[in-house]
């Protein structure tokens, strides 16, 4: 991945109403602060009037607006974009130095670890009742650690299944197609019927029914969701991985059968999630995971696509969601911390800045409701949050879990481990990977 790093400096405009002596007085009394803002190249989709945007664009626009009206400090901004692979270099390694981030836009699995190490500032004091009530409680919980909010949620990505409507119609599966701008809810039994019927109807070579991949850890969260399709849960009551159950083994057996029956792509153990997404975009895959941005991309490519939840025994189905938002590093400067909080809070009061959430999915109910008629799927996804499951649970050792989980699915697809062996191996390897986290939970 090509490294991207740029900086943008925004001068503050300090207005003075006095006609004489004001400039010198303000220079003596108002402290100058430079806030360092860092983000990865997180895309925010395409928004009417803004075009294709990313978080960097939001931070630049917000900095200009904020600096133009802020009077507590004379503030300017250093906004930079860094590559995903450079997170350690840009955040952890620079913590406590002059190049440390004051604010970073979080889409990172490592945020719980930063909070546990005392690097982040709790943000509870900047959340009033109105803002708290405007965002689902489940989202607040997802962004809280040990009872405190450390990530100010701004936008979310809800992952469902994307389904090729034309392939469903060609297979005679119209009864399973939902109304426009709604989510299909299928039981595991219904989903199985759909998969096999689609497979039998496909005439083209190198065209498959359902996604599967295990080349790396990308998209592992979605495989974990599939493991719950037969009524099992990923964890026991103590937070340990608990796939080695009747339901978990049944789900793994099912995944292997889909591979053997030609429902998933050949050689899926060597494929990654992006390979499946590209097959879907090319019309070579009937069902693939995706979010609202992927859905719009598919429509722009001329595909007829609808959304469906991952299957469940009760037929309501599951979706997964992740939120991105703002974190404040504790760099030991109370003035910087206050200015950083004021800046973040300002964003949520500005209607134009909140439009930057419309290319993905807003977390604020008020924004969803305001644009529901213009973008009907915003409300659809919002209503579907009740079916969201959280596989990650703010686990500060989640990256370690990711490093081992996919290897077990790879062995299953290769046929070098049975479903029973895979279930036991998932529990053993993932619990070893999160051993410190488990110990802290149980203390």
Instruction: Give yes or no for residue 11 having a pLDDT over 80.
Output: no
Classify each residue of 195-210 as buried b or exposed e, where b means 16 or more C-beta atoms within 10 Å of its C-beta: beebbebbeeeebbbb
Whether 98 is in a domain gets the answer yes
Domain shared by 150 and 286, yes or no: no
Q: Where on the phi/psi map is residue 301: left (φ > 0), alpha (ψ -120 to 50), or beta?
A: alpha
Instruction: Give yes or no for residue 3 having a pLDDT over 70.
Output: no
**In which band, very low, low, confident or very high, does the pLDDT at 413 lie, cut at 50, 70 and 90?**
very high
For residue 7, the model assigns a pLDDT of: 47
**In which band, very low, low, confident or very high, does the pLDDT at 394 lie, cut at 50, 70 and 90?**
confident
Domain shared by 433 and 305, yes or no: yes
What is the DSSP secondary structure assignment for residue 33, as one 8-state letter? E
State the total domains in the chain: 2
Whether 1 is in a domain gets the answer no
Whether 41 is in a domain gets the answer yes
CA 66/CA 11 separation, integer angstroms: 10
The residue among 351, 371, 389 that closes a domain is 389
- In 282-333, alpha helices (H): 292-300
**In which band, very low, low, confident or very high, does the pLDDT at 24 lie, cut at 50, 70 and 90?**
very low
- Using alpha carbons, select from 399, 418, 336, 347 the residue that is nearest to residue 113: 399
Domain shared by 37 and 134, yes or no: yes
- The pLDDT tens digits for 64-111 are 999 999 999 999 999 999 998 799 899 999 999 999 999 999 877 788
Phi first, then psi, for residue 419 (nearest 5°) are -55, -40
In the structure encoding, which two tokens stand for residue 174, read together? Answer: 């119209």
Domain shared by 148 and 271, yes or no: no
Domain shared by 136 and 51, yes or no: yes
CB of 104 closer than 8 Å to CB of 87: no
Distances from the Cα of 110 to the Cα of 23, 129, 173, 310, 317, angstroms: 44, 28, 43, 26, 29
Whether 124 is in a domain gets the answer yes
| Residue with tokens 């596989």, as numbered in its chain | 391
Domain shared by 245 and 343, yes or no: no
Domain shared by 119 and 200, yes or no: no
| Residue with tokens 């189905």, as numbered in its chain | 317
| Residue with tokens 């692979």, as numbered in its chain | 85
For residue 57, the model assigns a pLDDT of: 98
Domain shared by 132 and 166, yes or no: no
For residue 441, the model assigns a pLDDT of: 58
Domain shared by 381 and 299, yes or no: no
* CATH for 435: 3.40.190.10
End-to-end CA distance of the chain: 41
**In which band, very low, low, confident or very high, does the pLDDT at 376 lie, cut at 50, 70 and 90?**
confident
- Using alpha carbons, select from 211, 291, 288, 275 the residue that is nearest to residue 42: 291
- The pLDDT tens digits for 185-235 are 999 999 999 999 999 999 999 999 999 999 999 999 999 999 999 999 999
List the domain range (segments joined by +) for residue 338. 7-157+322-389
Could you give the dihedral angle defined by the CA atoms of residues 68, 70, 75 and 76, in that order, rounded to the nearest 10 degrees? -30
In the structure encoding, which two tokens stand for residue 145, read together? Answer: 């650690």
Classify each residue of 149-165 as buried b or exposed e, where b means 16 or more C-beta atoms within 10 Å of its C-beta: bbbbbbbbbbbbbbbbb
Domain shared by 206 and 193, yes or no: yes
The residue among 389, 411, 433 that closes a domain is 389
The residue among 373, 389, 405 that closes a domain is 389
Domain shared by 77 and 170, yes or no: no
**Inter-helix orientation angle 55-67/334-347, to 10°:** 110
For residue 243, the model assigns a pLDDT of: 98
**In which band, very low, low, confident or very high, does the pLDDT at 14 lie, cut at 50, 70 and 90?**
very low
For residue 262, the model assigns a pLDDT of: 97
What lies within 8 Å, CB to CB, of 97 at 6+ separation is: none
**In which band, very low, low, confident or very high, does the pLDDT at 146 lie, cut at 50, 70 and 90?**
confident
Tell me the pLDDT of the chain averaged across its residues. 91
Domain shared by 271 and 221, yes or no: yes
Whether 2 is in a domain gets the answer no
Question: For 125-136, what is the mean pLDDT?
Answer: 96
Question: For 22-49, what is the mean pLDDT?
Answer: 81
Phi first, then psi, for residue 84 (nearest 5°) are -55, -40
Burial label for 361, CB within 10 Å (0-12, 13-18, 19+), is buried
Angle at 113 between CA 399 and CA 138, to 5 degrees: 85
**In which band, very low, low, confident or very high, does the pLDDT at 21 lie, cut at 50, 70 and 90?**
very low
- The pLDDT tens digits for 235-275 are 999 999 999 999 999 999 999 999 999 999 999 999 999 99
What is the DSSP secondary structure assignment for residue 303, as one 8-state letter? -
Whether 165 is in a domain gets the answer yes
CA 108/CA 117 separation, integer angstroms: 15
């Amino acid at each position: 991945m090509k490294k991207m790093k740029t900086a943008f400096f925004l001068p503050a405009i300090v207005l003075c109403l006095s006609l004489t002596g004001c400039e010198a007085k303000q220079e003596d009394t108002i402290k100058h602060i430079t806030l360092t803002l860092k983000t990865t190249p997180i895309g925010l989709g395409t928004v009417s009037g803004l075009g294709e945007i990313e978080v960097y664009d939001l931070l630049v626009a917000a900095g200009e607006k904020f600096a133009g009206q802020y009077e507590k400090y004379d503030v300017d901004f250093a906004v930079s974009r860094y590559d995903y692979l450079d997170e350690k270099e840009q955040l952890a390694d620079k913590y406590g130095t002059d190049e440390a981030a004051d604010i970073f836009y979080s889409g990172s699995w490592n945020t719980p670890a930063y909070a546990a190490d005392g690097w982040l500032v709790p943000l509870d004091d900047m959340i009033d009742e109105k803002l708290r009530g405007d965002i689902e409680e489940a989202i607040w919980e997802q962004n809280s650690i040990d009872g405190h909010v450390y990530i100010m949620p701004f936008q979310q990505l809800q992952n469902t299944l994307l389904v090729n409507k034309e392939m469903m119609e060609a297979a005679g599966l119209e009864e399973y197609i939902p109304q426009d701008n709604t989510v299909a809810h299928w039981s595991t039994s219904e989903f199985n019927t759909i998969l096999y019927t689609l497979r039998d109807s496909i005439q083209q070579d190198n065209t498959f029914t359902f996604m599967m991949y295990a080349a790396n850890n990308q998209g592992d969260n979605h495989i974990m969701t599939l493991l719950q399709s037969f009524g099992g849960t990923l964890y026991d009551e103590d937070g340990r991985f608990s796939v080695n159950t009747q339901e978990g083994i049944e789900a793994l057996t099912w995944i292997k059968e889909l591979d053997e029956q030609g429902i998933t792509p050949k050689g899926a153990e060597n494929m990654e999630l992006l390979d499946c997404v590209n097959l879907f975009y090319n019309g070579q895959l009937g069902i693939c995971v995706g979010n609202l941005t992927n859905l719009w991309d598919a429509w722009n490519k001329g595909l007829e696509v609808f959304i469906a939840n991952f299957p469940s025994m009760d037929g309501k189905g599951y979706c997964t969601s992740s939120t991105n938002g703002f974190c404040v590093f504790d760099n030991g400067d109370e003035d910087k911390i206050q200015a950083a909080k004021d800046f973040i809070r300002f964003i949520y009061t500005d209607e134009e800045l909140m439009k930057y959430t419309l290319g993905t999915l807003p977390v604020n109910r008020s924004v969803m409701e305001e644009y529901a008629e213009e973008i009907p799927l915003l409300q659809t996804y919002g209503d579907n949050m009740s079916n969201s499951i959280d596989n990650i649970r703010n686990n500060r050792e989640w990256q370690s879990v990711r490093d081992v989980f996919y290897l077990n699915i790879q062995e299953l697809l290769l046929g070098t481990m049975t479903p029973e062996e895979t279930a036991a191996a998932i529990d053993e390897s993932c619990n070893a990977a999160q051993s410190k986290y488990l110990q802290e939970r149980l203390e």
